[in-house]
């Protein structure tokens, strides 16, 4: 399967609400609010899936940022507040926005989902829609068939185990 098809399949799988309705009402859309210096990395090859008018994009190169050796650069996307205001823009959100507050974690070659320790999502794991969790997991299973994505998740998981940038106790498996 080619990369574009993999991303389209993952995006489709993640088109399920995180909980019973608009979770942004609970926290004032904190994860969709632009803050100075905040943003997300797009996955390798994901840029063509994302509505670039929603973000300010910068290339972060491996020589300056902590990026795996086989990935020369990643796009760092800073939200320009469109997503939180424009409901039609939501369908162009990147994978990391769609997955939040969950994130992939790999240990011993095994994929898990953990609650992302970055951010301030007020929802507990128990409040998350079970279908959301299951479909996110299936999407990440598909995404890690892209070698660069798998290497990035392994790299980030290694950083988590080393206590950078997250504390290991924050990494309890959800799925």
Q: Is 76 left (phi over 0), alpha (psi -120 to 50) or beta?
A: beta
- Output the pLDDT for position 105: 95
Smallest CA-to-CA distance from 136 within 104, 91, 167, 93 is with 104
The neighbouring-strand residues paired with 58 are 76
pLDDT at 113 over 70: yes
- Output the pLDDT for position 30: 64
- Output the pLDDT for position 56: 81
Beta strands in the chain (DSSP E): 40-41, 55-61, 73-79, 102-107, 110-115
128-157 burial string, b = 16+ CB within 10 Å, else e? bbeebbebbbebbebbbebebbbbbbbbbb
- Output the pLDDT for position 101: 87
Which tokens is 113 given?
Answer: 């989902």
Return d(Cα 7, Cα 138) in angstroms, integer: 12
Task: Please indicate whether residue 35 or residue 5 has the higher confidence score (pLDDT).
Answer: 5
Per-residue pLDDT, averaged over 79-88, amounts to 62
The neighbouring-strand residues paired with 60 are 74
pLDDT tens digits for range 153-169: 999 999 888 877 543 33
Q: Under a CB-based contact definition with an 8 Å cutoff, are residues 138 and 102 in contact?
A: no
């Amino acid at each position: 399967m080619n990369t574009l098809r993999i991303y389209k399949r993952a995006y489709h799988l993640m088109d399920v609400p995180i909980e019973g309705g608009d979770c942004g009402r609970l926290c004032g859309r904190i994860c969709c609010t632009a803050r100075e210096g905040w943003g997300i990395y797009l996955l390798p090859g994901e840029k063509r899936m994302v509505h670039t008018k929603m973000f300010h994009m910068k290339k972060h190169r491996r020589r300056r940022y902590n990026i795996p050796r086989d990935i020369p650069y990643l796009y760092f996307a800073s939200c320009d507040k469109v997503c939180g205001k424009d409901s039609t823009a939501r369908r162009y959100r990147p994978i990391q926005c769609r997955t939040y507050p969950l994130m992939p974690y790999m240990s011993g070659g095994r994929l898990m989902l953990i609650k992302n320790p970055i951010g301030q999502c007020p929802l507990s794991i128990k409040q998350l829609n079970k279908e959301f969790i299951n479909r996110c997991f299936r999407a990440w299973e598909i995404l890690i068939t892209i070698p660069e994505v798998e290497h990035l998740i392994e790299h980030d998981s290694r950083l988590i185990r080393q206590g950078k940038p997250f504390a290991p106790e924050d990494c309890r498996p959800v799925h």
